[in-house]
Structures are given as C-alpha cells and as structure tokens.
Amino acid sequence: MQSHFYNTYTELDPFLPNDAAQQLVQLCEEFGSYGLYSEEALNEGIGEGLPQRFDAAFNFVRTGGRFGRSQDDVKTLAARTNYFRETYAYGEEIAAPGIEALYKSEALIDAARKIFGRPVIEPAIVYANLLLPGQELAVHTDVPEFRGMSRKTCPQWLLVAMHHSGLFDEFRMPIATAVSWYQDTEGGEFAFYPDGADAPARAHSVRFNTAVITDTDSVFHGVDRVQEQLSSMPPFRPGMRVHPLGEGQWAVRSGKEEIARYSWSEMRFSISWKAYCFNDEEERKRWRTHKEDLGLEAVLDTLCGDLEKRGRLEKQRPDNRNLAELIVDEYIHFPAAQTT
C-alpha cells in the first residue's frame, strides 16, 4: 500500500486488497434500499423550524455550489443535494455484516494516529452515501462532538458553529474521518480545503479502491456534481428510496412508483469511517463517564457573551431562529464559490 502523508490528510491508493474492495460493492447491493439523508427532524428550541444543517444548505442556495451554478432554481438546488445514506455500523451495532474488516481497519487506525498525534483510536461509525447523476454535496464541515454534546442531544448546526468559534476546544472530541470509493465515477470529485477556506480546493477524483482520511470536522469539503445522464434530474422528495434491482441496475421509488432507473456505473458510492482520537486512556475514560460535560445553556451563554463582545448582540437575546442564524453567520465562514 502506498500512502502520502500531508499536514492534514492522507491518501491511500490502493486502500484495500482488491478482493476486499470488490466485496464492498457486493455488500452495497446486498444491504438493500437507501433512504434520503434529508429526512431528519427540524430543530426544536434554538433554531426552531430550521433544517439541521441550514448553515450548509443556505450557503449552497446562496452561492449555487462550489462553481456558483446560479441558473438552477432553489427546488433544483435542493434536489441536487438530497442524496441517499444508510448506516453500516454504529458503536457495537453492525447493520451490514461484512463491514467489520473496514470498521476495524488497521490502515485507517494507523493513519488517524499519525494525522492527529493521538495514540488511542476508537472506531465509532461507518455509513454509506449514494449520489445519483446530477447530484452533489454542498461544501461543509462535518458535525463534531463535544463531551456531553452530540447530534443526538443538540442541533447539528450548533455543534458546527461551536467548533468554528474556537470557544470550546478543551471539550471537543477529535474525530478522524476516512472516505473511500468503490467504482470509477464521471464527476463527483471529493473537493476539500486542507490548506484552509481561503486556499484553493483540492479535487480528488473518484477511483476504485482509493481513500482519503482527514479531519472533516475542521476541513471544508463537498462533492462536485456527478455527471448527468438525463436532460433533467428527477425531483427527489422525502420518502423516496433507491433500490437494487440486480445486474448493476438501481431504481428510485416513491412507494411502489418507479421515479428513475440508473446503472451502477452512473452512480457514486462512498463509505465513510469515523473514529474518536484520544491522547490516552484517561481521556477516553473522562468521555465515557461524562466527567466535565458541557450543557446547552452554558454553551449558549458563552456564545452570546462572545457575540456581545464582538458588538453583534445586545444584552437581550433575539428569538430562537434569529439567534441561530446570527451564530452561524458570525462563526462559520465558507470558502468562496469558484468563478473560473
């Protein structure tokens, strides 16, 4: 295996033995159907009524994506980022038998140690993403975790803003993320910004049995548009699922109604692996026993205090929605759309 180590990421090419990579293609089909990632509940309380990742969604609609394709209307832009996802493993639960070798991959664990400089690595989750022709993934950073705060307990956009603010670093759980691919795809490059949001993006072509591992909670990244085969992309709506039909054919269905059909070669399949990175066993124990956890009110008090110091907020807080948009606007600064 050849690996290239950089300051903030590692490329693995090839990633797995060829037979193991081929088995993951088979696993993708055997797993069954895949639902839309957008089918997550709206925020309640702080940010009430907003999508979980309104930070990335609003930026995507405003800019038209990494290349600023402003000719698309809002509904089309929303459909382009309404991709399909399912979880293969979470903690000790294995939903896709056969994923264990990747979940406990020593190559990924070793790369995570080198990138983060932390020797204790605990794999946490594996999930699969399927993008269809015409789809792309808005530039974003992933949802981080803090001691006592995760996507299970508070809004995703808030966790992202907390990390970008730099105000809660001592509570942050460093997470390594590896993204791997199992077919050659036309378009659909993994575009990421390892040198910062103000530097040019690096576009990694999607090639069979390759992987990139980095800190996606800190490094902005997205997926360029998968090459379109049809004159217009179907409108993907909540409740739709993509199903394997056998012999490399897949269908998007709304209930029993078939909306569109694709061949495997037209699609973009990736597997993401995430692992916690600890300095030592004591740090991992502090996380597991919930010592020195953060709480939502303390976080909001800290953010509002900082916003006051910055002159962005008066003593009286705005309503939940306006406060959420203010927090995102102040702390999350996306890369500019590429105009050439």
User: What is the C-alpha to C-alpha distance for residues 130 and 116, in angstroms, rounded to an integer?
Assistant: 28
Residue 337 lies in a domain: no
Which pLDDT score is estimated for 237? 85
Residue 311 lies in a domain: yes
Q: List own/partner pairs for 306-310 with CB under 8 A and 24 or more apart.
A: 306/165, 306/167
How do the pLDDT tens digits run along the chain, 340 residues long?
A: 444 334 589 999 999 999 999 999 999 999 999 999 876 666 778 888 888 899 998 998 888 878 876 567 777 777 788 899 999 999 999 999 999 999 999 999 999 999 999 999 999 999 999 999 999 999 999 999 999 999 888 999 999 999 999 999 999 999 999 999 999 999 999 999 999 999 999 999 999 999 999 999 999 999 999 998 766 788 888 899 999 999 999 999 999 999 999 999 999 999 999 999 999 999 999 888 988 899 999 999 999 999 999 999 988 889 999 999 999 999 999 999 876 5
Which pLDDT score is estimated for 179? 98
Residue 109 lies in a domain: yes
Residue 338 lies in a domain: no
Residue-wise pLDDT for 306-336, tens only, equals: 999 999 998 888 999 999 999 999 999 999 9
Which pLDDT score is estimated for 6? 41
Residue 340 lies in a domain: no
Residue 95 CB partners (closer than 8 Å, separation 6+): 31, 86, 87, 88, 89
Number of compact structural domains in the chain: 1
**Closest CA relative to residue 247, chosen from 259, 260, 262:** 262
Which pLDDT score is estimated for 41? 63
99: tokens are 């994923």
Which pLDDT score is estimated for 67? 80
Which pLDDT score is estimated for 45? 82
Residue 29 lies in a domain: yes
Other CB atoms within 10 Å distance of the CB of residue 154: 21
Which pLDDT score is estimated for 42? 62
Residue 153 lies in a domain: yes
DSSP class of 95: S
Residue range of the domain that includes 191: 3-331
Residue 156 lies in a domain: yes
Which pLDDT score is estimated for 257? 96
CATH of the domain at 157: 2.60.120.620
- Asked if residue 28 lies in contact with residue 269, where contact means CB atoms within 8 angstroms, the answer is yes
Residue-wise pLDDT for 102-134, tens only, equals: 999 999 999 999 999 999 999 999 999 999 999
Alpha-carbon dihedral sign for residues 11, 17, 22, 28: negative
- Asked if residue 78 lies in contact with residue 189, where contact means CB atoms within 8 angstroms, the answer is no
User: What is the C-alpha to C-alpha distance for residues 237 and 338, in angstroms, rounded to an integer?
Assistant: 29
Alpha-carbon dihedral sign for residues 146, 147, 151, 154: negative
For every residue of 33-90, DSSP letters joined together read: -EEETT--PPP-STTTTS-TTHHHHHHHHHHTTTTT-TTS-HHHHHHHT--EEEEEEE
